[in-house]
């Protein structure tokens, strides 16, 4: 059996009186692409923020690489791409990348090459010198993805990474995710795009703060006699 990368135990989260996450238990193995699928407002972002150590559960606990989160010194092992782009708009893309490369402790001599590699992947090498405020929405997403990949983290947490990215590039990005997986990296990806969900090794279906099913896309479809993940989701969610 593969080693566990993320252990989520009895995790709940309240904002005021609203219970956003309800008693979640989940193990994510090293080297898998795990997708969190659910409608808007289901709690996906809250859960991945807690895995990344950016939010704390109201109750329960989360371990990443067998260490209780939040843990500051895991920062070099984690890559987190937020849903809204955390970029310095007044700086050029190159300067953003250099800033984050330094923050993540990349050695100076490796930085230039690594920056070129990640920008090639997201097809932005021609725009390195451009101020980020002049980037389109999709370009900002791609730059955020490049930044999350910079330090080759062991665990990549990506909150809707391909929103605003066109289908051709989306395909390239997914190929890159599979290459990372082959290198032994673990990826957690939130999505509400069904065809992306099919590309994950396993899926967690989340609805109104509850994890309603976990399994491979095939298992989830078989268990509900569905022809699509969308249909399986509806059945797990209580539709007849």
Ligand X SMILES: Nc1ncnc2c1ncn2[C@@H]1O[C@H](COP(=O)(O)OP(=O)(O)OP(=O)(O)O)[C@@H](O)[C@H]1O
Q: Are strands 33-37 and 186-191 parallel, antiparallel or unpaired?
A: parallel
* Ranges within 186-205 binding ligand X (CB under 6 A): 192
Tell me if 61 sits within 8 A of 100, measured CB to CB.
no
**Residue 38 within binding range of ligand X, rule CB under 6 A:** yes
**Residue 144 within binding range of ligand X, rule CB under 6 A:** no
Beta strands in the chain (DSSP E): 4-15, 18-29, 33-37, 59-64, 67-68, 78-81, 155-159, 186-191, 202-207, 210-215
* Distance of closest approach, residue 153 Cβ to ligand X, in angstroms: 21
Residue choice 40, 113, 227, 240 for contact with ligand X (CB under 6 A): 40
Residue whose C-alpha is closest to residue 239's, from 224, 223, 222: 224
**Residue 56 within binding range of ligand X, rule CB under 6 A:** no
**Residue 41 within binding range of ligand X, rule CB under 6 A:** yes
Residue choice 5, 24, 33, 46 for contact with ligand X (CB under 6 A): 46
* Ranges within 66-105 binding ligand X (CB under 6 A): 83
Tell me if 226 sits within 8 A of 58, measured CB to CB.
no
* Number of residues in contact with ligand X under rule CB under 6 A: 12
**Residue 207 within binding range of ligand X, rule CB under 6 A:** no
Eight-state DSSP code of residue 3: P
Instruction: Please identify, using beta-carbon distances, which residue of 46 and 186 lies nearer to ligand X.
Output: 46
Residue choice 28, 33, 42, 93 for contact with ligand X (CB under 6 A): 42
CA–CA separation, 15 and 13 (whole Å)? 7
Residue 203 to residues 29, 36, 101, 175, 206, Cα–Cα distance (Å): 12, 6, 31, 18, 9
* Distance of closest approach, residue 212 Cβ to ligand X, in angstroms: 13
Sign of CA dihedral 23, 201, 184, 94: negative
Residue choice 35, 43, 57, 161 for contact with ligand X (CB under 6 A): 43
* Distance of closest approach, residue 73 Cβ to ligand X, in angstroms: 26
* Distance of closest approach, residue 101 Cβ to ligand X, in angstroms: 28
Interacting residue ranges for ligand X, rule: CB under 6 A: 15, 20, 38, 40-46, 83, 192
């Amino acid at each position: 059996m593969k080693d566990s990368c993320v252990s989520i135990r009895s995790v709940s989260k309240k904002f005021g009186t609203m219970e956003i996450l309800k008693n979640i238990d989940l193990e994510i193995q090293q080297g898998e692409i795990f997708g969190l699928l659910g409608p808007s407002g289901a709690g996906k972002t809250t859960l991945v923020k807690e895995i990344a150590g950016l939010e704390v559960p109201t109750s329960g606990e989360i371990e990443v690489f067998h260490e209780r989160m939040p843990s500051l010194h895991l920062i070099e092992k984690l890559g987190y791409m937020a849903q809204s782009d955390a970029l310095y708009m007044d700086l050029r893309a190159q300067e953003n990348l250099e800033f984050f490369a330094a923050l993540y402790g990349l050695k100076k001599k490796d930085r230039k090459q690594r920056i070129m590699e990640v920008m090639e992947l997201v097809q932005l090498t021609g725009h390195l010198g451009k101020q980020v405020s002049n980037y389109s929405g999709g370009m900002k997403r791609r730059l955020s993805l490049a930044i999350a990949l910079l330090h080759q983290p062991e665990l990549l947490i990506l909150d809707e990474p391909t929103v605003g990215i066109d289908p051709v590039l989306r395909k390239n990005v997914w190929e890159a995710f599979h290459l990372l997986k082959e290198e032994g990296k673990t990826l957690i990806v939130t999505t509400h795009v069904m065809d992306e969900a099919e590309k994950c090794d396993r899926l967690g279906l989340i609805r109104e703060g509850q994890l309603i099913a976990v399994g491979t896309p095939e298992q989830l479809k078989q268990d509900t006699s569905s022809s699509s993940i969308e249909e399986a989701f509806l059945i797990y969610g209580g539709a007849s």
